[in-house]
Amino acid sequence: MLKRYRETVVPALKERFEISNLNAVPRLEKVVLNIGLGKQQGDAKVLETAQQTLTRISGQKPVLTKARKSISGFKLREGTVIGAKVTLRGPRMLDFIGKLVNVTLPRVRDFQGLDPKAFGNSGNYTLGFKENLAFPEIKSDEVERLHGLEVTIVTTAATPEQGLALLTGLGFPFRTSSND
């Protein structure tokens, strides 16, 4: 993945966006995997399952996320555990992205390609999985409860166009506008 980035993606991005400084070329910064517990936030078994899932997928121990403030409409108190997340950087991030593009996304049921409009204003991309069975580390016969998973790819791209060009160059399968 790193070799592909240096040899093909960087020159293409420099030419397309007329970037003269090598350090200004968009690059991957980190990948954040997040599982929110939602309505099941009080269930310790669901939290444990979410932590095990993140550990298997990422190879790292997840950090618990807690509510920053109380919201009575959601029956949420400040400090309550509401999810778990893992941040990947460096070689682990590159390994995960390679696995995501080459193994996980092709295993998603009814996959039509990634939505190119899902970029944030700063060139970061977020995709969600309704179920985590697409990941090869998760065995379908061991799963008791299905839960979603959110993957955020943080880049140094300044615009969504630069982020799209970066991820397309790295092999992400974005769908063309004619499929929308």
- The pLDDT tens digits of the residues spanning 24-55 come to 899 999 999 999 887 777 778 888 888 888 89
Going by C-beta distance under 8 Å and a sequence separation of 6 or more, which residues neighbour residue 171? 4, 101, 102
Q: Is residue 123 part of a domain?
A: yes
What percent of the chain shows pLDDT beyond 70? 94
Q: Is residue 106 part of a domain?
A: yes
Q: Is residue 180 part of a domain?
A: no
Q: Is residue 50 part of a domain?
A: yes
Q: Is residue 97 part of a domain?
A: yes
Q: Is residue 16 part of a domain?
A: no
Kindly report the number of other CB atoms within 10 A of residue 66's CB atom. 12
Number of domains into which the chain is organized: 1
Alpha-carbon gap, residue 156 to 96, rounded angstroms = 18
Q: Is 171 left (phi over 0), alpha (psi -120 to 50) or beta?
A: left
Alpha-carbon gap, residue 172 to 155, rounded angstroms = 14
Q: Is residue 100 part of a domain?
A: yes
In this structure, what CATH number is given to the domain that contains residue 55? 3.30.1440.10
Span 140-167, pLDDT tens digits: 666 666 778 899 999 999 999 999 999 9
Higher pLDDT, 67 or 31: 31
Q: Which two tokens stand for residue 39?
A: 């309505």
Span 122-138, pLDDT tens digits: 889 999 888 777 787 87
Higher pLDDT, 138 or 97: 97
Give the residue numbers spanning the domain of 110. Answer: 26-173
Residue 180 has a pLDDT of 46
Residue 40 has a pLDDT of 72
